Amino acid sequence: MNPISKITLVLFSAMILFSTLSWGTNNEEFSRDFARAHALRNSKDIKGLESMVKEIQKTWSQKDRRKYGYLMVNTLNSWASACKRSDKKPPMNVIHQYATQVLSTYDPNKADDISIETEFDLVSILHEQYEYSKVKHTDDEWISTRREGAERWFHAWRRLENAIDKDWDPNDIPTENVDLPEGVTGFPGMPPELIKDPALRAEYEQAIKKNREKTEIRNEQLNLRNTKNRYRRIVEKYLISTYSIPPYANEELSKYVNEYIAEEKTRSRILDTVKKNIEAQAEKAPKEPVREPPPNSTQR
C-alpha cells in the first residue's frame, strides 16, 4: 500500500471512530476542530494545518486529554495528506515530534487520557512507514530504531489485551426499549416520569441504567476487538519485516513475542517466518571464493 493510501486509510478509520463515539454531550468545539482539519486538508492549506497542530497542542492538551489525542491524530494525518495532495514532501520529522510528544505524556493512572485506539494510531504515524538502508542507518541506529518501534507497538498491545474482557458475552444484547415493571401500564421505553408509584419508578430507572451500562460495555468491547483485528496484521508485519533485516536479533524478538503475544499460533508464525527469511537471505548471499593456500616458499 502506498503512503497516500495508508494516510487515507488512517483518516477514514478516524472518521468512522469519530462518528461512533458517544461523548455524553455534544461538544461543539471538538466537532468544529475535527471538521476544520478535514476542510484544511481538502483545500491543501498546509500552513493552516501546521498552525492548527500547534493550537491543538496548546489548548486541548490542557482541556481534555482523550479528545486531544483524537484531534492530534486527525490533524497530523490531515497535514501529511495535504502535503501529498500538493505534491510536496510531508515534514515527517516534525510530525513525528508531535506524535512522540503525545505518547510521552500518557499517564496510565488517568482514566481520561489518550485512548487505546489513539495510541495505536500515533504509533502507526511513527513506525508504520519504516525504511532501512545502510546509507540512512548504521547498524546501531537500526537496532535502536527497530527496538523502539517494537516497544511502542507492544505497549499499545498490552493495553488492548488488558482492556478486552475475555468473559464478555457478545450474544447478551441490550434491549432497544426497557420493559416496564410488572403492574405498570404503558409502553416499553416510556419516560420514567410517567410512572406515579415511586418504588416502581425507581425500579424502572434502575433497569434503564443497567441497560445503558450494558450498551456502553458492548460498544467498548466491540470497538476493542475491531481495533485488535485492524492492528493485528500491522504489528505482525512490522515485527516480521524489521527483524528479518540485519543485524538480526532473534533472541530479542523471541523475548518480546513470548511476553506480549498470548496466541501460540501467532507467536510461532512470527518467529518461524523471521527464521525462514533469514535462512533465505543466507542462501542468496554471495559465497566467499575458495582460496588456494599460498605456495610453499620452499617448493620449486
Give pLDDT tens digits for 257-280. 999 999 999 999 999 999 999 999
Closest CA to 66 of 125, 16, 29, 117: 117
15 or 136, which is more confident? 136
Q: Which residue has the cell 481534555?
A: 64
* Predicted pLDDT of residue 241: 94
What's the rounded mean pLDDT across residues 88-102? Answer: 95
Could you tell me the CA-to-CA distances from 182 to 98, 206, 214 in Å, in that order? Answer: 57, 14, 22
Longest CA–CA separation in the chain, Å? 121
- CA atoms lying within 13 Å on the CB side of residue 24: 1
Give pLDDT tens digits for 134-183. 678 899 999 999 999 999 999 999 999 999 999 999 999 999 999 999 98
- Is residue 220 classed exposed, middle or buried when 0-12, 13-18 and 19+ CB atoms within 10 A define those classes? middle
- CA atoms lying within 13 Å on the CB side of residue 104: 8
The yes-or-no verdict on residue 205 having pLDDT over 80 is yes
* Predicted pLDDT of residue 294: 62
